[in-house]
A and B are shown apart, each in its own frame.
Chain A
């Protein structure tokens, strides 16, 4: 029987379309308009063409910020994903302790970004912070306000502390959905622990892990509040990531034209990565569905 195609349901999404137009599309169009002009305030604009884009593409400042941003995202993914999986594998499957673990894991996720930043800013201080004080007492030179390595280590460890549990919880949910029959079959075949992980658990977790990687990547790629509170982008520019640099440019220097061009390029990179992830995920679903 031939199904009749009725596209009228699309009218039902009109309210959402209006809302998105108001909150995203119109501001984005304005940003595009800004990116090709220069302004000295008073809502007076002068045509600049593609000048800002050209300037930014050749700007060392942007290259460095992008490099730091990519390095940061890669480092935290390389730590958080394996660590999250490891934690999930070792969490109790059921009972009282499973609930305790879940609650404990969820706690860091509930803390607002700026509070996380403040916690670590104080925690790392040599005079009053436990971490800073202890490291100092052990004779390890640690000062995140002056040493770029210490600043990086603090920001990375802070992100790992804040977000590993998200990966762990997602991986845990993936693990819980594996029926017992798979493990029984593996036992009959005398599969080693590694093989159970490699051929049963990992493939079954693939979907949620991709979501976890996407979420963590996007979130770390636009990270602003935590490093801003802890290091303020310093020492020097050592922890100035893309969004911190963008805000400096847009609100600190009030260079609306270059900042608009900057945010458009930032947006394009994010759009590309999101599309790649989305495509991979939907194709995985389709493959699994067959």
Chain B
């Protein structure tokens, strides 16, 4: 594994994503759902909303890094608000 040049932060990052995927898989099995129509006027399931959240969060982090000269954890707060909004309205 040395060739993969692991670091603790990246390991935590991937573990978080893996945990999210497992969590959503378990949720999908335990509480099956039907897709719903949100503000984007597209049908989404919980998994879709997770994808939109993660992809959007990546862009929020990049935008924060490039445009705002504040510590990066500020972007994480924005991401959490964004995630809540996506799961509520999309």
> Looking at chain A, what size class is its interface with the partner chain?
20 to 34
| Cβ 8 A contact of A32, one of B3, B10, B29, B51 | B10
Given A268-B59, A271-B55, A286-B43, decide whether A57 and B65 contact each other with a Cβ distance below 8 A: yes
Which residues on A sit within 8 Å (CB–CB) of B6? 33
Which residues on A sit within 8 Å (CB–CB) of B23? none
Given A268-B58, A272-B55, A283-B42, decide whether A34 and B66 contact each other with a Cβ distance below 8 A: no
| Cβ 8 A contact of A36, one of B4, B7, B43, B62 | B7
Interface pair A29/B42, CB less than 8 Å apart: no
| Cβ 8 A contact of A37, one of B5, B58, B66 | B5
Interface pair A7/B9, CB less than 8 Å apart: no
| Cβ 8 A contact of B32, one of A5, A34, A47, A279 | A5
Closest CB of chain B to A283's CB: distance in Å?
A: 6
Interface pair B4/A30, CB less than 8 Å apart: yes
Bound together, the chains give a CA A275 to CA B2 distance in angstroms of: 33
Bound together, the chains give a CA A54 to CA B63 distance in angstroms of: 10
Bound together, the chains give a CA A37 to CA B72 distance in angstroms of: 17
**B32 to chain A: closest residue by CB:** A5
Which residues on B sit within 8 Å (CB–CB) of A286? 43
Interface pair A36/B10, CB less than 8 Å apart: yes
Closest CB of chain B to A198's CB: distance in Å?
A: 24
Interface pair A43/B5, CB less than 8 Å apart: yes
Bound together, the chains give a CA A237 to CA B42 distance in angstroms of: 41
Closest CB of chain A to B25's CB: distance in Å?
A: 9
Which interface residue of B5, B7, B9, B32 has the most chain A CB atoms within 10 A? B5
Which interface residue of B10, B14, B42, B55 has the most chain A CB atoms within 10 A? B10
Given A26-B4, A286-B43, decide whether A268 and B55 contact each other with a Cβ distance below 8 A: yes
A contact face: mostly helix, strand, loop, or mixed = helix
Which residues on A sit within 8 Å (CB–CB) of B58? 268
Interface pair A275/B4, CB less than 8 Å apart: no
Bound together, the chains give a CA A272 to CA B29 distance in angstroms of: 28
Interface pair A45/B5, CB less than 8 Å apart: yes
Determine whether A50 belongs to the interface, using a CB cutoff of 8 Å to chain B: yes
Which residues on A sit within 8 Å (CB–CB) of B65? 50, 53-54, 57
Which residues on A sit within 8 Å (CB–CB) of B59? 268, 272
Interface pair B7/A37, CB less than 8 Å apart: yes
Determine whether A20 belongs to the interface, using a CB cutoff of 8 Å to chain B: no
Give per-residue flags for A252-277: 1 if the beta carbon is below 8 A from chain B beta carbons, else 0: 00000000000001001001100100
In the A-B complex, the 3 residue pairs with the closest CB atoms? A57-B66, A33-B5, A30-B4
- Other A-B pairs beyond A29-B10, A283-B42, 12, CB < 8 Å: A5-B32, A7-B29, A26-B4, A36-B7, A36-B10, A39-B5, A45-B5, A47-B7, A50-B65, A58-B66, A271-B55, A275-B51
Subset of 21 A-B contacts with CB under 8 Å: A5-B32, A7-B29, A30-B3, A30-B5, A32-B14, A36-B9, A36-B10, A39-B5, A43-B5, A45-B5, A45-B7, A47-B7, A50-B65, A53-B62, A54-B65, A57-B62, A58-B66, A268-B55, A268-B59, A272-B55, A283-B42
